[in-house]
Structure 1
Amino acid sequence: MMTTKLRTLAGATLAATLTCGAPAAFAQDAALPNTVVWTTYDTGGAMHSAAVAISSALKQNDNLNLRVISAGNGVAQQSTLKAGRADFVLAGFDVYFAQEGAFQFGAADWGPQPVRLVMTSMTDQGFGLAISPEVAENVAGPGDLRGLRVAYVQGSPSIQGALQALVIACGDMTWDDVEKVEVPGFGASVDAYINDQADVYFTSTNSGTSVKADASSRGLTWVPVPFDNDACWEEIRATDPRWIKKVVTEGVNIPEGGIEMASYPDMLLNTTADRDADYVKAMLSTVYGNFDDINGATPTTYGLALDRQILDYTVPFHDGAIAYFKETGVWTDEMQEHNDMLVARQDALKAAWDEVVAMNISDEAEFATAWKAKRIEMLEAEGFDVPVRDW
């Protein structure tokens, strides 16, 4: 049973109210082409394993070719959507930073993206800070990480944002208080940890790479984020809106009773706003039509179940996904109101971006400064929340 305390941007998730179980099976929808392309993280991770399991089920049951391509960080993944090389991305929280035009997405050739969610995942695992048991004895929370080596994944706003919130903001530190070990991708962060080049890295408690790290000579344990540390949680939420309080009960070296950690949805399947609604609805129908074979195919795919969807999160859902959720009876008027607000917020971000682009600023640093200021100004003027104020 999920023991999650959820506090999203719009309030508590309505996942617990959803109808349990998968819908009746569907044949492959005519709106789907013979081949669909998803992008996700590198092989060995939980998302890649889930995508491959879904691909296998759809091929076996519906003769649908779901091609899974790998990209080591969030910018590379979203690039495949932007370039038209992929139809969907099974991502982490990078989709939010793409929406915001934050971190690498704040560069002049990016800007806030019109991303839309298709489905989410919430398992009993968690995301957090893996740490060597050798140095964890004196670590009761993020504030005790001073002086340690932290793996910092270049090109991954999701991981960079996580570290900014969980290490720096919660720990009341700056990057000068830890040793930043820069690595080119998530897989490289795991290798840096195993090779004793880093003491801490960000990952999921239930991934294959966590098993690999635990089996190494270093072992593996987790940095708790105690629920009663009010100052820490206030800083986390002001820094990054993805985080929820979650008692993690599943994963490598999770003790009986679980660990208080900060977490967020395990996987976020997303696409672009202009993707055909019938296409998106058909994709979702086909996944859930085959869910009996997908559920349990990997340690995390059960989290995609209909009754575990978080439908009032921080990025709007695609109209095609909404149509599917309406048909299955889980979409409410309150969810629609929240979704409409998120779409309007994206419109405000786009308007702010267009104003900055029209300034014709050639200097990258000056452009970045102007964009950050205009983003805050526009969102505040329109009455929207403004997390992630600096990056």
Structure 2
Amino acid sequence: MLKRLMMAVALTGMLCGVAAAQTVGLATTKGGATNQIANALAKTISENSDLMVRPQIMANTAQYLPLVDTGRVEFGIANFPQTSNAISGTGMSEGQPHPNLRMVGTLIPFNAGLMVTNESGMATMADMKGKRLPRFPEGSLGDIIMKAALETAGLTYDDVTSVPIANFPAMFQGIKDGTTDVSIATAGSQSALDIDASTGGARFLDFKDGDEKILEKSLPGVSLKKGTDLPESAGITDDTVIMSYDYTLFANVDVADETVAKVAKALYEGKEGLMASGPIWSEFDPARLANNISLEFHPGAIEFYKSVGIWNGN
């Protein structure tokens, strides 16, 4: 009888612990670097706080930005150009501002570019002329990156063969299957590793000095980064020159300050777990979580960053 009572008490305690865990959603896409980042965030935050983070997978960032803006999902992730455009209602979010998004943290430098197979013989953006390029829906992130990259070489879609692509996973599969010659990829991501492994070797096309002025017109916050300043990754050599911009975590403005502070704290203290999740996190620095104060931060995040001395805003 005593044994049964003790078991009942233990079970009740376990159930209470489960009930006490607050579940929050983290909007992400299916596959690619964004999904990879979301899974690492969910695991790290859940293990380092009393929150249970569940990735909410959707077709693309444009689909979930309004859901976070309206509070239907608590958190979301996107690169800095997307987040900046979304808040202001410009660029990729032209005429559709999302005023209720607030920054929670600057996560990692997102080092991205256009990947091709070694067999293609392509090396620069100009080499895309006449090649088969994935063509995303007008105004989407993939479309904007492709157009900007083409523009750096004085090219447009008229100079290449367009292959309609629905999303990033389909793009990754296209270059692996040989139906396209180019793919957007993120250095250190699993998708870049897969392309490299399945095609017998791959590389990134190189940007040239001055290209950032063209890229910045549609991708705010972008800079160019040389291979010597990049983490070791498939497709990267010392001579590689690709884009770099920050990746961000944001929340709806009405998410409780305490909840956001718990997320910020879990990330600040979770460097070991994040870096262990893959090479894409190799440049993660907790002290940079409070970067990009040009965008408005959530009060809960500000409160925590002030407490650990890394907040440089007002």
TM-score range, shorter chain: 0.7 to 0.9
Q: 1:53 to 1:252 in 2, by over 3 A?
A: same
Q: Secondary structure of 1:76's partner?
A: helix
d(CA) in 2 for partners of 1:238, 1:78: 22
State percent identity of aligned pairs: 22
CA contact (8 A) 1:75 1:156 kept: no
Q: 1:300 to 1:329 in 2, by over 3 A?
A: same
d(CA) in 2 for partners of 1:74, 1:269: 12
What is the CA-CA distance between 1:233 and the residue it aligns to? Answer: 3.0
1:183 aligns with 2:165: yes
Deviating beyond 6 angstroms after TM superposition, the runs of 4 or more aligned structure 1 residues are none
Q: 1:39 to 1:296 in 2, by over 3 A?
A: same
Unaligned 5+ residue runs, structure 2?
Answer: 1-19
1:288 maps to what in 2? 268
Q: Secondary structure of 1:275's partner?
A: coil
What is the CA-CA distance between 1:68 and the residue it aligns to? Answer: 1.1
- Alignment map for 1:151-230 (pairs within 5 Å): 151-154=134-137, 157-168=140-151, 170-217=152-199, 219-227=201-209, 230=210
d(CA) in 1 for partners of 2:129, 2:294: 31
d(CA) in 1 for partners of 2:239, 2:59: 30
Unaligned 5+ residue runs, structure 1?
Answer: 1-31, 337-391
2:106 maps to what in 1? 120
1:264 maps to what in 2? 245
1:86 aligns with 2:73: yes
What is the CA-CA distance between 1:323 and the residue it aligns to? Answer: 2.2
What is the CA-CA distance between 1:276 and the residue it aligns to? Answer: 3.4
How many residue pairs get aligned? The number is 290
1:322 aligns with 2:307: no
CA contact (8 A) 2:115 2:235 kept: no
Q: 1:314 to 1:177 in 2, by over 3 A?
A: farther
d(CA) in 1 for partners of 2:70, 2:104: 19
Query: How does the TM-score come out when normalised to structure 2?
Result: 0.81
Per-residue CA deviation, residues 39-66 of structure 1 (Å, 9 max, x unaligned), is: 11214x3332333233334444545311
What is the CA-CA distance between 1:218 and the residue it aligns to? Answer: 5.9
1:35 aligns with 2:23: yes
**Which amino acid is 1:259 matched to?**
T
Query: How does the TM-score come out when normalised to structure 1?
Result: 0.66
d(CA) in 2 for partners of 1:82, 1:264: 22
CA contact (8 A) 2:113 2:242 kept: yes
Per-residue CA deviation, residues 145-169 of structure 1 (Å, 9 max, x unaligned), is: 222222133377332222222222x
CA contact (8 A) 1:74 1:155 kept: no
CA contact (8 A) 2:116 2:181 kept: yes
Q: CA RMSD in A?
A: 2.7
Q: Give the one of 299, 311, 318 matched to 2:279.
A: 299
d(CA) in 2 for partners of 1:300, 1:63: 26
What is the CA-CA distance between 1:75 and the residue it aligns to? Answer: 0.8
1:379 maps to what in 2? none
**Which amino acid is 2:133 matched to?**
V
Larger Rg: 2
What is the CA-CA distance between 1:188 and the residue it aligns to? Answer: 0.7
2:12 maps to what in 1? none
